[in-house]
Structure 1
Amino acid sequence: MSQQPHIIEPAVPATRCVIWLHGLGADCFDFVPVVEALGLPPNHGIRFVFPQAPTRPVTINGGFPMPCWYDILGMSPARAINQAHMDEAVAMLKGLVADQQAKGIMPDQVILAGFSQGGAVVISTAVLSRLPLAGVMALSTYGPDLDKLLQSTPQTSSLSVFCAHGRGDEVLPISMGREAHDLLLAAGHSTQWHDYPMAHEVCPQEIADIRQWLTARFEL
């Protein structure tokens, strides 16, 4: 994962950060338009960091190489994944949080966001790192082995999690997103559930809801 993230600096010195992971087959520019669409206050002070996943063969896509955070070996049981790749992605994301801390932005001013496969990495990282994050955005995603992760990793602080999913999602059924939400809620985390009449994508109402949640978490 050597490629540097795409970074959008705010108009004023950064005091907060959102690290946003794209989905399978996309790139680090995929969610850049959403930043403008959020319509944040002009002096929001949020640095947006968009990492790029490495390109490698994806088993469920016939071994065709594409950007992915981890290989997906099969659709069942519940998306069998390459755990070594996931561990690598989690380490990368934890490193990016540490980079922000070195620049003066503490974890409690960092939100981890991810769409689809990127969201799975974000959820795993948030649980495993036990960092006091400002929040987690889990968009059209799921939690691979999340029940086991929560059982084996005692949580030292409650995460604030924004979960969003399309009711017509044929890539990741809404049931998988709801299961992740319910597991996090049962583990004592503060969760919000939002579903929309959309497929595996992002819609305007979701962006409006993200804006509301984001500005509340960062007290803008």
Structure 2
Amino acid sequence: MSTHLNNVVINPKDKHSATIIFLHGLGDTGHGWASTIAQIKPSFAKCICPTAPRMPVTLNGGFEMPSWFDLLTLDASGPEDANGIRRATEWIHSLLDEEIKNGIPSNRIVLGGFSQGGGLALHAALRYQQPLAGLLAFSCWLPLHKEYPAALAEANKNVPILQCHGDIDPIVPCQWGRLSAEILSRLTTKHEFKVYKGMMHSSNPEELRDARDFLAKCLPSV
């Protein structure tokens, strides 16, 4: 898969010194989050919002839609598409590698995502061999959690993580987020889990304010 496939790119207003890569949820496209992330990012940060390839999704009766990997069940302990997750992770790592090749140090890159994209962001960041600036995880879960701690890359043991979830999320239950948070808090040293009252499988102004503050802290002006 080309690293330039259907990427929505929002260039910085000031000199480019940081990059944010944000991954959408199932059935969405990079356009779905681009304007939102653009509103909360630092002025010197480029925003890349790629679109997942279309594929049949088992959970949705085999219908094709943009998806980072196949979803097989709503059961938190059920089978997962390990090969698909691995392929998607390799692609995200190639996006990170390309930014580094273009002059942005890994510790000036934040990776994030929503729902399925948030899960992939967690998975890809924790296995990346260079230290990232931060990790934003919205309304998601940690895929292949049984592979930890063995799968954790030492480089990102100390990556700052802001994990957010709505308390009445009907799609990815908040309990999934809590279980993932318990694992992440044991694996990493700078993990924070925030729950938003009355928020469903979406975002809200409070979450976005917290994300903006997190980005400002992870990506200070240089």
TM-score, scaled relative to structure 1 = 0.93
Q: CA RMSD of the aligned region, Å? A: 1.6
Paired residue total:
217
8 Å contact kept, 1:147–1:183: no
User: Residue 52 of structure 1 corresponds to which residue in structure 2?
Assistant: 51
Which residue of the partner structure matches residue 219 of structure 1?
Answer: 220
Structure 2 CA distance for partners of 1:36 and 1:8, relative to 1, 3 Å:
closer
Which letter maps to 1:203? N
Per-residue deviation, residues 154-179 of structure 1 (Å, max 9, x unmatched): 52441110000010101001111112
Structure 2 partner of 1:31: 33
8 Å Cα contact 2:123/2:142 also seen in 1: yes
Query: SS of the counterpart of 2:32?
Result: coil
Partner of 1:199: 200
| Alpha carbons 2:76, 2:176 under 8 Å: kept | no
Whole-angstrom distance in 2 between the partners of 1:33 and 1:15: 20
2:21 maps to a residue whose letter is I
Distance 1:101 1:153, change over 3 A: same
Q: Runs of 5+ in structure 2 lacking a partner? A: none
- Alpha carbons 1:70, 1:81 under 8 Å: kept: no
Secondary structure of 1:216 counterpart: helix
CA shift, 1:152, in A, is 3.6
Cα deviation per residue 1:168-220 (whole Å; 9 max; x = unaligned)?
Answer: 10100111111212211112331111111210001011011101111011124
Residue 73 of structure 2: aligned partner: 74
CA 1:59–1:14 in structure 2 vs 1: closer, same or farther (change >3 Å)?
same
Match of 1:144 in 2: 143
Q: Is the 2:10–2:38 Cα contact (8 Å) retained in structure 1? A: no
Tell me, in whole angstroms, the C-alpha distance in 1 between the residues paired with 2:16 and 2:129. 24
Per the alignment, residue 88 of structure 1 pairs with: 87
So what's the TM-score if we normalise by structure 2?
A: 0.92
Matched, 1:187 2:187: yes
Q: 1:79 to 1:162 in 2, by over 3 A?
A: farther
Distance across 2 between alignment mates of 1:36 and 1:105:
18
* 1:36 Cα deviation after fit: 4.3
* Partner-residue secondary structure (3-state), 2:143: coil
Counterparts in 2 of 1:121-200, with a 5 A limit? 121-153=120-152, 155-156=154-155, 157-196=157-196, 197-200=198-201
- The alpha-carbon distance between structure 1 residues 199 and 79, as it changes in their structure 2 partners (threshold 3 A), is farther
Task: Report the residue type matching 2:18 in the other structure.
Answer: R
Structure 1, unaligned stretches of length 5 or more? none
Report the CA distance between 1:63 and its aligned residue.
0.5
- The residue matched to 1:81 in structure 2 has which SS? coil
Task: Check whether the contact 1:78–1:144 (CA below 8 A) recurs between aligned residues.
Answer: no
Q: CA separation of 1:16/1:114 partners in 2, compared to 1, >3 Å: closer, same or farther?
A: same
- Aligned partner of residue 202 in structure 2, secondary structure: coil
> Given that residues 57 and 71 in structure 1 are in contact (C-alpha distance below 8 angstroms), is that contact kept between their aligned partners in structure 2?
yes
- State the Cα distance separating 1:79 from its structure 2 match: 4.9
Q: 1:32 offset after TM fit, Å?
A: 1.5
